[in-house]
Amino acid sequence: MTFENSKEFAQQLDSQDKLNKYRDEFIFPKVNGEKVIYFTGNSLGLQPKRTKAYVDEVMDDWANLAVEGHFYAEKPWWDYHERFAKPLGKIVGALPSEVTVMNTLTVNLHLLMVSFYRPTKSRYKIICEEKAFPSDQYMFQSQVDFHGYKSEDAIVEIKIREGEHNIRLEDVLAKIAEVGDELALVLIGGVNYYTGQVFDMKTITAAGHDAGAVVGWDLAHAVGNIKLELHDWDADFASWCSYKYMNSGPGNASGCFIHEKHHNNADLPRFAGWWGHNKERRFKMEQTFDPVKGAEGWQISNIPILSLAPYLASVDMFDEIGMDAIIEKRDKLTAYLEFILQEIAKEVDSSFEIITPSNLSERGCQLSVFLHGEGRGLFDYLMENGVITDWREPNVIRFAPVPLYCSFEDMYDFGQILKAGILR
Ligand SMILES: *Cc1c(COP(=O)(O)O)cnc(C)c1O
């Protein structure tokens, strides 16, 4: 499709966009009395208007029923989390029994490593990507320390080649083959938080398995953003947060995937708690732990209902729309933003380097842009003029035009503000 850098053209794309009406379902912060252009849904998604009712329902049930709410609330609390299994399973490409919601992301990755990082004297190495999200790096370091290995030896990073910005698939596969018999676990961010690169999870999972390793995925930037087929890809486990593309609110609960093939494996160690215990017998207060078969068997504590309520509002919205429609708009909107950036670069005779892969199968909705010759002043200008983005040293701005609430007109308007900011 040929794009035009004009307001009329952008408005025309909006009028043809089936998801445009969902914009009204979100609450936008305002700057100078105007709705912002929000590019940071990859960090914290906007609040859906329907969320408040989900939270109010829990507050009312608590007020009116108190402890009885566990069984008699509008949505009973004791099995509240079960409402996620089916719709969230669809979002990540999993069977309902393979998905549950609990805790927060880094906590869940640690808990999953209890089960799936089982180092031995000869097979103890972890492969991850260079410049993994810091929380993941701290997690790897503390896990290998805990098991008595040295980080320098046990953690193997796949490097980005000199002069390039993304990791090549061939380098991932070569590293897996090289570490071979020493490889215990491959655990990579399915979408890199910094560059927006999407990894070929199917191929990497198969290669990890060929080497005899377990393969897990951190899907913080993937869930709600890209098509996932976790079950078919045969991933062993995965976890994600819900406050980025899933719009569930700051610091909110995490989701987990544990492949069906592990559900009946009684030898897998895990850190247990009463919410993972046999549901029929949970309140008999028995001494011996009998895990629920399925991802729910990894639950530990009773459910934080007030944090799951906003997550359920979001999952219901995604279920209503479906990932296919989201992805279709995502590709067009991201391509339009890419076009606008290129047009503005020509007009102001500046060079923006988009470091996110241009290949559609290797990107979701984020574009990370090196603004050569520009400094933080430009970022401040954008923020003061209602363009919410985030800045990463040295001079990379990440833009996530989230298809659920960003419009084509936003992209056009942003281009004009960017141009004024550079020429200021
Ligand atoms: C956002 C993000 C996290 C955040 O972890 P929390 O435990 O939710 O604070 C972890 N890993 C990646 C890759 C992320 O993008």
Contact in structure between 416 and 6 (CB atoms under 8 Å)? no
Q: Give 229-264 pLDDT, tens digit per residue.
A: 999 999 999 999 999 999 999 999 999 999 999 999
How far is ligand 1, taken at its centre, from the CA of residue 256, in Å?
A: 13
Instruction: Give the mutation target among 40, 105, 242 for probing the ligand 1 site: most ligand atoms within 8 A of CB.
Output: 105
Expressed in angstroms and rounded, the spacing between residue 241 Cα and the centre of ligand 1 is 7
Place of tokens 């005899």: 212
What's the mean per-residue pLDDT of the chain?
Answer: 96
Which domains does the chain carry? 7-49+322-423 (3.90.1150.10), 53-321 (3.40.640.10)
Q: Does any ligand 1 atom lie closer than 6 A to the CB of residue 104?
A: yes
pLDDT band at 97 (very low <50, low <70, confident <90, very high): very high
Q: Is the CB of 98 under 6 A from ligand 1?
A: no
In the predicted model, is pLDDT for residue 282 greater than 80?
A: no
Of the chain, the percentage scoring pLDDT greater than 70 comes to 100
- 200 versus 372: the higher-pLDDT residue is 200
* Distance of alpha carbon 302 from alpha carbon 299, whole angstroms: 8
Place of tokens 């209503």: 320
**Ligand 1 site, residue 45, Cβ cutoff 6 A:** no
> Is 136 touching ligand 1 by the criterion CB < 6 Å?
yes
* CA distances to 127, 133, 154, 220 from 106, in Å: 17, 11, 20, 10
* DSSP characters over 29-85: PEETTEE-EE-BTTTSPPEETTHHHHHHHHHHHHHHHGGGHHHHSSS-STTTTHHHH
**Per residue in 62-95, pLDDT tens?**
999 999 999 999 999 999 999 999 999 999 999 9
Query: For 10-47, how does the pLDDT look when each residue is reduced to its tens digit (9 = 90+)?
Result: 999 999 999 999 999 999 999 999 999 999 999 999 99
253 CB under 6 A from ligand 1?
A: no
So what's the pLDDT on residue 373? 82
pLDDT of residue 350: 82
